């Protein structure tokens, strides 16, 4: 039997290697930013076929009785990877999937979690936003992300939140707040009261330029209100896995305020939207990644909003 | 364009979206749709000159927001009784409804110039075809890289948009108008201008097409700008153009939408 031993060992190590690769492919990097609060860090990139739209910060919070997933990922595979990662961290069952808003990088992993006993939770306008955007998003996924989505991938909330909702995970309570139109018209934030961790989704961008897909004025109002939330740390939708609260709001708030001030003054002085898109806010370019991809679009969106703000 | 034609265009376009392979959706500046069908459909049998002497079109090569692409068409000469631009038609080749808008001008317009914001659903040429007072057609075109502008979700604050629907306002440069010369003016119309392409496959929420079809601007009862518009016009339609006041008077806007709603607004102009 002796001659066979090295071969056996080789086979065994090859097998281990395969397992390692396989398990690597099925999980996702995560960091525990507070006891029981786990975040996977996204990347500051445009969604494309290489990153498969897996660009946002996503994660989960573990209680004694239940796990709550917060944003499921930018692709069906990322949703599966997150699910496997949760299984590697805890045997506590997943009871909730919370979507912070409708954008693809936060919801495309939903289907991976759909099972008896799992409740999907989102802003009361999330269901409608998913329904209206699904055909457009499916086409974009096919042409730009390299995968196909079926209608089933858009899992709407079975627990819509109109104002606030307290979720008991066993030994810890999450306070969910539905916000008026800000980043989108369906933003939901989560406060883990036990650790003082505020999960803001895309109400907070850090490093990645903020993207206005709702209302510039509304977003600034919400930032003002959020400042009074008692928390020790914050998790942004894009940026580091965790940051100091409320200091983390400063960059985004300054950028949005500058847009607001300069666009108001452009409208006041009779400038056109074309001029505004060329001239406004260029001094903020060094502060943000993906500036050239979203800044002018932000101006166009905000200009069209502010033209009517006095009416 | 009647409604049956429009519905079939929408269907054809959706089928196209579903069937087109990446190879077919080439980034090349393709003019097939214009040359094979649109030109004949919209300007049957007529000669269209592509020249630099009549109008110029300005559009961003890469659109920042496909649902809100600023577009400007300027004439190369002033409007006079002897020689003027009667009409400018805007066609976006690869949109589900290529006919986007048609603007009638008069010698009293001062300058045949129009700026607006449009939706682009695919990489496409946008072309402006001007008909001069001698009956000839002149075309200028620009290529725009944008996609999804017509099927993109409607503005997220649809409730606010509907509450404000039909509201209009004029904006002039400064408080006073200059007599007997072209004055720039902007007309802002609050209307969600829904394309009818924002379909729902999950909860069966349907947003039927609801958009402005006619815009008529007059000064003291005389036409300044008359437009026929379609779904390519962005939400909250916005038009910049010129008019020539010879005295104080009333600038009036009357619009119609495809559901038969009529709205009007006016503003007193003082020199």
Q: What DSSP assignment string belongs to chain A?
A: -TTHHHHHHHHHHHHHHHHHHHHHHH----EEEETTEEEE---SS---TTTTT--S-EEEEE-SS-EEEE---SSHHHHHHHHHHHHHH--SPEEEEE-SSS-HHHHTTGGGG--TT-EEEEETTHHHHHHHHHHHHHHHIIIIIS----GGG----SEEESSEEEEE-SS-EEEEEEPSSSSSSS-EEEEETTTTEEEEEEEEESSBPP--SS-HHHHHHHHHHHTTS--SEEEEEES-S-EETTGGGHHHHHHHHHHHHHHHHHHHTT--HHHHHHHTTGGGGGG-BTHHHHHHHHHHHHHHHHTTTT-
**B84 SS3 class:** coil
Inform me whether the pLDDT recorded for B99 exceeds 80: yes
The pLDDT score that the predictor gives to residue B3 is 43
- In this prediction, residue B159 carries a pLDDT of 72
Closest by CA position to A112, among listed A60, A138, A75: A75
Q: Which residues of chain A have pLDDT under 50?
A: 1-25
- Say if B51 falls within a structural domain: yes
Computed over every residue of chain B, the mean pLDDT equals: 86
Residue B22 placed within a domain: no
Query: What CATH number is attached to the domain comprising B229?
Result: 2.60.40.10
Binary contact (A128, B234; C-beta < 8 A): no
How distant is the Cα of A221 from the closest Cα of chain B, in angstroms? 15
Look up residue A82 and give its two tokens: 């997150």
Q: Kindly state the percentage of chain B with pLDDT values over 70.
A: 84
pLDDT tens-digit map of B72-87? 999 999 999 999 999 9
Confidence of residue B157 (pLDDT cuts 50, 70, 90): low
Neighbours of B48 (CB within 10 A): 17
Quote the ipTM score.
0.84
The residues pairing with B103 across neighbouring beta strands, listed in sequence order, are: B88, B227
Which of B72, B73, B205, B65 lies closest to B121 in space, CA to CA?
B65
Residue B61 lies in a domain: yes
Instruction: Please tell me the distance in Å from A11's CA to the nearest CA on chain B.
Output: 43
Is B236's Cβ below 8 Å from some Cβ in A?
yes
> How do residues B194-242 score in pLDDT, each as one tens digit?
998 776 555 555 678 999 999 999 999 999 999 999 999 999 999 999 9
Query: Given CB atoms, is B222 within the 8 Å cutoff of chain A?
Result: no
Contacts of B151 in chain A (CB under 8 A): 135-136, 139
pLDDT of residue B208: 84
C-alpha R_g of chain B: 19
Shortest Cα–Cα distance, B238 to chain A (Å): 9
Within a domain: B168: yes
What pLDDT does B64 receive? 86
Task: Evaluate whether residue B150 is within a structural domain.
Answer: yes
Sort out which chain B residues have CB atoms less than 8 A from A151's CB and list them.
201-202
| Distance separating alpha carbons of residues A234 and A22, to the nearest angstrom | 33
Domain of residue B77: give its range: 46-269
Query: For residue B34, what are the contacts with CB-CB under 8 A and spacing of at least 6?
Result: B91, B93, B125, B127
Q: What is the predicted pLDDT for the residue at A1?
A: 36
Beta bridge partners of B264: B254
Out of B64, B153, B240, name the one closest to residue A133 (CB): B153
SS3 B40: helix
In sequence order, what are the beta bridge partners of B141? B127
Distance CA B73, CA B58 (A): 6
Domains of chain A: 27-248 (3.60.15.10)
Interface subset of B 35-54, CB within 8 angstroms of A: none
- Give domain status of residue B242, yes or no: yes
**Adjacency order of strands within the sheet including B124-132:** B48-50, B137-144, B124-132, B85-92, B99-104, B222-229, B212-219, B249-257, B262-269
> Which residue, A104, A117, A91, A89, is CA-closest to A27?
A89
Nearest to A235 by CA among A266, A267, A291, A195: A195
What is the count of structural domains for chain B? Answer: 1
pLDDT band at B8 (very low <50, low <70, confident <90, very high): very low
% of chain B residues with pLDDT over 90: 69
Domain membership of residue B40 (yes or no) is no
Find the mean pLDDT for residues B101-106.
96
Query: Is residue B18 included in any domain, yes or no?
Result: no
Best of A120, A125, A136, A276 to disrupt the B interface (most B CBs within 10 Å) is: A136
pLDDT of residue A232: 98
Query: Residue A311: what pLDDT?
Result: 75
Q: Does residue B109 carry a pLDDT above 50?
A: yes
Q: Report which of B183, B192, B191 is spatially closest to residue B251, judged by C-alpha positions.
A: B183
pLDDT digits (tens, 9 = 90+) for A88-142: 999 999 999 999 999 999 999 999 999 999 999 999 999 988 988 888 899 889 9
Instruction: Give the model's confidence band at B108: pLDDT under 50 very low, under 70 low, under 90 confident, else very high.
Output: confident
């Amino acid at each position: 039997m002796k001659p066979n031993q090295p071969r056996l060992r080789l086979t065994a190590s090859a097998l281990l290697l395969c397992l390692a690769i396989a398990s690597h492919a099925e999980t996702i990097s995560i960091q525990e930013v507070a006891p029981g609060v786990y975040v996977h860090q996204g990347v500051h990139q445009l969604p494309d076929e290489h990153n498969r739209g897996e660009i946002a910060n996503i994660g989960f919070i573990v209680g004694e009785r239940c796990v709550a997933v917060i944003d499921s990922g930018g692709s069906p595979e990322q949703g599966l990877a997150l699910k496997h990662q949760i299984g590697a961290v805890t045997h506590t069952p997943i009871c909730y999937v919370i979507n912070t808003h409708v954008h693809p990088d936060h919801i495309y992993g939903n289907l991976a979690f759909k099972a008896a006993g799992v409740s999907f939770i989102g802003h009361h306008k999330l269901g409608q936003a998913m329904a209206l955007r699904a055909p457009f998003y499916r086409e974009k996924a096919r042409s730009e992300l390299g995968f196909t989505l079926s209608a089933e991938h858009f899992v709407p909330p079975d627990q819509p939140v109109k104002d606030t909702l307290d979720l008991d995970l066993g030994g810890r309570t999450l306070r969910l707040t539905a916000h008026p139109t800000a980043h989108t018209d369906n933003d939901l934030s989560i406060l883990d009261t036990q650790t003082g961790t505020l999960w803001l989704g895309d109400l907070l961008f850090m490093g990645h330029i903020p993207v206005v897909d709702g209302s510039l004025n509304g977003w600034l109002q919400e930032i003002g209100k959020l400042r009074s939330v008692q928390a020790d740390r914050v998790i942004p939708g894009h940026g580091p896995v965790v940051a100091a609260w409320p200091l983390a709001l400063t960059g985004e708030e300054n950028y949005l305020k500058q847009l607001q001030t300069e666009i108001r003054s452009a409208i006041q002085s009779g400038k056109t939207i074309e001029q505004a898109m060329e001239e406004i806010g260029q001094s903020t370019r060094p502060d943000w990644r993906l500036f050239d991809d979203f800044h002018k679009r932000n101006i166009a969106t905000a200009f069209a909003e502010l033209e009517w703000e006095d009416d | 364009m009647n409604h049956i034609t429009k519905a079939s265009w929408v269907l054809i376009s959706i089928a196209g979206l579903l069937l087109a392979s990446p190879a077919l959706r080439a980034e090349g500046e393709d003019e097939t749709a214009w040359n094979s069908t649109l030109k004949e459909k919209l300007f049957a049998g007529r000669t269209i000159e592509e020249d630099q002497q009549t109008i110029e079109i300005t559009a961003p090569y890469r659109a920042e927001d496909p649902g809100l692409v600023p577009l400007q068409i300027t004439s190369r000469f002033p409007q006079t009784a002897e020689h003027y631009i009667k009409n400018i038609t805007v066609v976006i080749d690869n949109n589900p409804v290529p006919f986007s808008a048609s603007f009638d001008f008069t010698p009293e317009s001062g300058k045949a110039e129009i700026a607006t914001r449009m939706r682009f659903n695919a990489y496409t040429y946008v072309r402006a075809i001007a008909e001069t007072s001698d009956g000839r057609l002149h075309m200028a075109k620009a290529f725009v890289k944008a996609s999804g502008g017509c099927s993109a979700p409607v503005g997220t604050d649809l409730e606010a948009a509907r509450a404000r629907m039909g509201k209009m306002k004029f904006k002039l440069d400064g408080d006073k108008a200059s007599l007997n010369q072209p004055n720039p003016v902007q007309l802002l119309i609050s209307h969600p201008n829904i394309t009818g392409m924002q379909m729902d496959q999950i909860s069966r929420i349907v947003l039927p097409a609801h958009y402005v079809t006619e815009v008529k601007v007059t000064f003291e009862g005389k036409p300044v700008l008359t437009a026929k518009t379609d779904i390519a016009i962005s939400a909250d339609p916005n038009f910049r153009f010129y008019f020539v006041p010879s005295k104080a008077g009333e600038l009036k806007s009357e619009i119609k939408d495809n559901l038969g709603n009529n709205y009007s607004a006016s503003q007193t102009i003082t020199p």
